[in-house]
Amino acid sequence: MLVLVTGGAGYIGSVVVRELLDNGFAVRVLDKCLFGDEGLNSVRSRIELIRGDINRFDSEWLENVSAVIHLAGLSNDPMAEFNPEANRRLNTEATAVLGEHCKSKGIKRFIFASSCSIYDKGLLAEDIIQDEESPVEPRAAYAVSKYQAELELKRLAGHDFCPTILRQGTVYGWSPRMRYDLVVNTFVKFAFEKGVLVVHNGGEMWRPLVDVSDVAKAYVACLQADISIVGNQLFNISYKNYRILELAHWVRKVFRELGVDVEIEVEYGSAKGRSYRVSTKKIERVLGFKPTVSVEDAVRIMVDKIRSGITADFSNPRYYNIQWVEILTFAEQIIRMTGSIF
């Protein structure tokens, strides 16, 4: 089976690609490669890589494709707020267009990377565990764009197009295309750099979290399942719901076990902030899928990689999505005025 992975050179995508290959799937990656394609270096000879823009989708990219895993788009709140129009085009409109292309090509299997941030009601909201049937009113631009994309896919859904929507918790862990702008990964970076983990708002915020390798396994589990079970379905993916202060303590525990003294500073102030907890009982019941990589396990892996000199340059802006996009945007503006550098 040939699987098209949009955003396959990214933080999650480069791990998903490897999981697909390990399970015998043929892989075609579609990625604009704004962050480079180094995350695919070790598997380049085993995949087909198309450097293309999801906003200008070419139906030829779907030739011989049996399933699509759609990861491409802007990835978090800072990116969405930096360019709300691009956020809407990439996360919502491009998803709808891709779904229409798949439907016209007779591609039934379509797995979409959505977000548990859709459930956010704010730190002062009632503290409840939400499942796939819970009513949602997303607030932030990123969450809104993901939810609207879900609605577009549901509009297209039927017997001839059967999307599976995976609402992912905040992802953590090591990837060949590393990021240090995700909460656990950021704590790891600060533990190395400063020996201090700063926790805002008392660390009271709840987040569902999941390791990137478990996310990749969830996508493969959906591909391997009978489409009558996963088609036109929505699933939450999370290892566990954590408070942010709890996360800091787990990270500190691992570092101290490894001989590094790390402190925690708790700041109190604004009660604003995202906070939400989710249930994963549905995917456990339907697919028997349960993530296995804890925050502690993931931190140990990241520490080992960093100590080995892999993705250890914390100052590299490519490891921070919004920083890199700001640099590229500024460079693009300069080149438009000056023309080619040489």
Cα 315 from chain centroid (whole Å): 22
**pLDDT at 82 exceeding the cut of 80:** no
Looking at residues 11-17, what average pLDDT do you find? 98
pLDDT tens digits for 53-75?
Answer: 999 999 999 999 999 999 998 87
Left, alpha or beta for 340 (phi > 0: left; psi -120 to 50: alpha)?
beta
Residue 240: both structure tokens together? 């566990």
Of 135, 287, 126, the C-alpha closest to 217 is 287
pLDDT of residue 224: 97
User: Which residues are CB-neighbours of 270 under 8 A, at least 6 positions away?
Assistant: 201
Tell me the domains of the chain and their CATH numbers.
2-323 (3.40.50.720)
pLDDT tens digits for 298-312?
Answer: 999 999 999 999 989
Contact 172, 189 (CB under 8 A): no
Whether the pTM exceeds 0.75: the reply is: yes
What is the spatial distance between Cα 285 and Cα 20, in angstroms, rounded to a whole number?
Answer: 23
What is the spatial distance between Cα 304 and Cα 307, in angstroms, rounded to a whole number?
Answer: 5
pLDDT of residue 338: 86
Average pLDDT, the chain: 94
* 258 φ, ψ (degrees, to nearest 5): -90, 10
pLDDT of residue 182: 96
24-33, 73-82, 135-144, 196-205, range with greatest mean pLDDT: 24-33
Looking at residues 175-192, what average pLDDT do you find? 97
Helix axes 183-193, 244-257, angle to 10 degrees: 40
pLDDT of residue 271: 64
Helix axes 183-193, 295-307, angle to 10 degrees: 50
**pLDDT at 81 exceeding the cut of 90:** no
pLDDT of residue 342: 72
Task: Give the pLDDT band of residue 329 (cuts 50, 70, 90).
Answer: confident
What is the spatial distance between Cα 223 and Cα 53, in angstroms, rounded to a whole number?
Answer: 24
pLDDT of residue 77: 73
Give 3-state DSSP helix, strand, coil % of the chain, rounded to 5. 45, 20, 35
Catalytic: 276?
Answer: no
Sign (positive or negative) of CA dihedral 141, 55, 179, 237: positive
Of 153, 121, 159, the C-alpha closest to 137 is 121
Question: How many CB atoms are located within 10 Å of the residue 282 CB?
Answer: 16
Looking at residues 122-129, what average pLDDT do you find? 85
Strand ranges inside 175-258, DSSP E: 196-199, 206-211, 233-237, 240-243
What does the DSSP 8-state code read for residue 27? E
What is the spatial distance between Cα 234 and Cα 167, in angstroms, rounded to a whole number?
Answer: 7
pLDDT tens digits for 210-235?
Answer: 999 999 999 999 999 999 999 999 99
What is the spatial distance between Cα 17 and Cα 12, in angstroms, rounded to a whole number?
Answer: 9
Choose, from 11, 119, 142, 242, the residue flagged as catalytic. Answer: 142
